[in-house]
């Protein structure tokens, strides 16, 4: 016996299990029409918060962008850092997180400072 909800489409009368998107498998219309925007009330205030994952994403992007700006390949950067090319790729693709020491080495090779990287991230996230 299944505990999934069976529903009848009000538009085409097809009996079916409820879908994740809450639309009919035959006519593709929603089972329940959404409320009009005026009935929902005022829009909630939006808070901008940089999460840990967002920071990691922007750090990886800034490291990648700095490497590309200098015209270095991942292999060249790896040789200068004395690190494998695959590790450089993992850092840039959010599969690995650099330590503070390796971040300092990144900055030396990329001819920048950690503070400059953080200012770049802040500019990208907030626009200021």
pLDDT digits (tens, 9 = 90+) for 16-47: 888 777 888 887 787 765 555 555 555 555 54
Cβ of 85: how many Cβ atoms within 10 Å?
15
Tell me: the pLDDT tens digits for 94-106? 888 888 898 899 9
In the chain, % of residues over pLDDT 90: 16
Whether pTM exceeds 0.85: no
**Structure tokens of 29?**
């219309």
Question: Which 8-state DSSP code applies to residue 42?
Answer: S
Tell me: the pLDDT tens digits for 34-92? 555 555 555 555 544 545 557 788 888 888 888 898 999 999 999 999 999 999 999 98
What lies within 8 Å, CB to CB, of 4 at 6+ separation is 17, 18
Q: Where are the domains of the chain?
A: 1-33, 52-126
Tell me: the pLDDT tens digits for 110-121? 888 888 888 888
Choose the CATH number for 52-126 among 1.10.260.40, 3.40.50.12160, 3.40.50.1100, 3.40.1360.10. Answer: 1.10.260.40
């Amino acid at each position: 016996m299944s505990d999934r909800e069976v529903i009848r489409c009000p538009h085409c009368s097809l009996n079916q299990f409820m879908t994740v998107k809450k639309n009919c498998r035959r006519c593709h219309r929603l089972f329940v029409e959404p409320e009009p925007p005026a009935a929902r009330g005022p829009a909630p205030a939006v808070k901008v918060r940089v999460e840990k994952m967002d920071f990691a994403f922007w750090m990886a992007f800034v490291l990648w962008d700095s490497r590309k700006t200098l015209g270095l390949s991942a292999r060249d950067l790896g040789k200068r850092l004395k690190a494998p090319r695959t590790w450089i790729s993992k850092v840039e693709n959010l599969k690995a997180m650099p330590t503070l020491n390796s971040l300092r080495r990144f900055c030396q090779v990329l001819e920048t400072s950690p503070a400059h990287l953080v200012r770049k991230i802040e500019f990208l996230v907030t626009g200021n």
